[in-house]
Amino acid sequence: MNTTLDLILEGGTVIDGTGAPRQRLDVGIAADRIVRLGDLSRVPATRRFDATGCIVAPGFIDVHTHDDRLLLEAPEGAHPKLSQGVTTVITGNCGISLAPLHSLETPPAPLDLLGAGPWRYGRFGDYLNELEESGPAVNAACLVGHSTLRVSRMERLDRVATMREQRLMASDLAMALDAGAIGMSTGLYYPPATAANTDEVIAVGAPLTAARGIITMHIRDEGDAIADALSEALLIGRALGIEAVLSHHKLVGKANHGRSVETLSMIDAASRSQSVCLDCYPYNASSTMLLPGRIAQSDDVRVTWSQADPSAAGRSLFSLARERGVPPEVLAETLQPAGAIYFAMSEDDVGRILQYPATMVGSDGLAHDVSPHPRLWGTFPRVLGHYVRERRLFSLETAVHKMTGLSASRFGITEKGILAENHYADIAVFDEQSVGDAATFENPTAVSTGIKAVFINGKLACRDGETMEVHAGRVLRHGRSN
């Protein structure tokens, strides 16, 4: 029966997100779902989209973002996620979430990486409800930050939480999970949580076990002590008996270059007895708050923002320090609060980690930096262009799987991440030969090339980098049909 479909994407080559070989298929959509795949040339449709010569893939899932506040906004012009084919984001990473925290003052760094504005969501459900009402640009699944819980419940952050404080944080987490949060994130590397011990994290995260939530972890150290930090993270995942995600896995500092062989071996061994995976961004430079302790291990440091000296944004800290006749560490102190990009990683490690079968792709972009890391705008096209087409690190089918089906499976996002009948119509259409990142460290907000169209829940959200619909996304609540 040839019922008229709302939309048919015709003439394209489908890479379905499972890792299977590509096929020449049309994609038929009714309302927000894919309803037919095959030769639909004779099937009537209200609209037809010519995808001839293009790859038709599931919309990309950015598993590591700090888009908590960005999702509440409707930015003019190109959108940093829509323009690169992203249709779903995971927010609240690295222990940092916009809720539950009600504060009249600016919370301590790195919570300020989520941008300026009130922290007014005393309950996580309040944040999800407002996000749902405002209509996000992309689909969003949201984590609760352990550091945010600490800031909300503890007067002093330089110690382990008391048993009472742990119970209060666990209760807040349980309420958030009931409201639809998908899990909890940690950021034990950062000042608000460095004093927390392993037992505290397990106690606060206890509600995750029964709720079958997920835990994502910015581990305690990514440099010299990475083996101990990785062991701690794996222990936390085992104790809770849930999926554990190792956030933006990397090795920083020249002394640690090449150690991804060691860390991936540790992860591989652990995966035989527990569920563990990781995410990675395709760059050999990281970005976070400006930390004087990170300067010596970096070949260069680029300031992304500074409240004390806005003119420093986009400049090399080392160059500025020479101009001003002061050591870089001293200058870093005078720029606070501030953010930075650190060039301290090995490209060989980045490639090796990206190739690991359980590695997903996440941008870790910071949407509110004045001069952001280019990963905010270029992560997914960079994988497709630089690492697939140019370096041939893995096949296009494998790359798409790492950015779609694998991510949906690990994060428990149902009916997304794979192009299949009855799945939601989240789709990226791109040119295999021209797709690539245009954003650079000098011009970090340049729009990627080769992303022809992005559909979210059946709606055309972006075409050739131009935003067409800024409210096509939905809130993906844990344990509920979306």
Distance in angstroms (rounded) separating the CA atoms of residues 341 and 314: 9
Q: Give mean pLDDT, residues 251-275.
A: 98
Considering its fold, how many domains does the chain have in total?
A: 2
Contacts of 251 (CB under 8 A, 6+ apart): 222, 223, 226, 257, 258, 259, 260, 263, 345, 346, 349
Domain identity same for 188 and 77: yes
Domain identity same for 337 and 357: no
pLDDT at 480: 73
pLDDT digits (tens, 9 = 90+) for 77-115: 999 999 999 999 999 999 999 999 998 788 999 999 999
Domain identity same for 83 and 166: yes
Q: What is the pTM of this model?
A: 0.98
Cα R_g (the chain), whole angstroms? 22
CATH of the domain at 321: 3.30.1490.130
pLDDT at 366: 97
CATH of the domain at 127: 3.20.20.140
Domain identity same for 195 and 310: no
pLDDT digits (tens, 9 = 90+) for 117-175: 889 999 999 999 999 999 999 999 999 999 999 999 999 999 999 999 999 999 999 99
Residue 229's SS3 state is: helix
pLDDT at 146: 98
pLDDT at 481: 63
pLDDT at 482: 64
Average pLDDT over the chain reads 97
Classify residue 64: in a domain, yes or no: yes
Domain that holds residue 214: 60-284+345-373
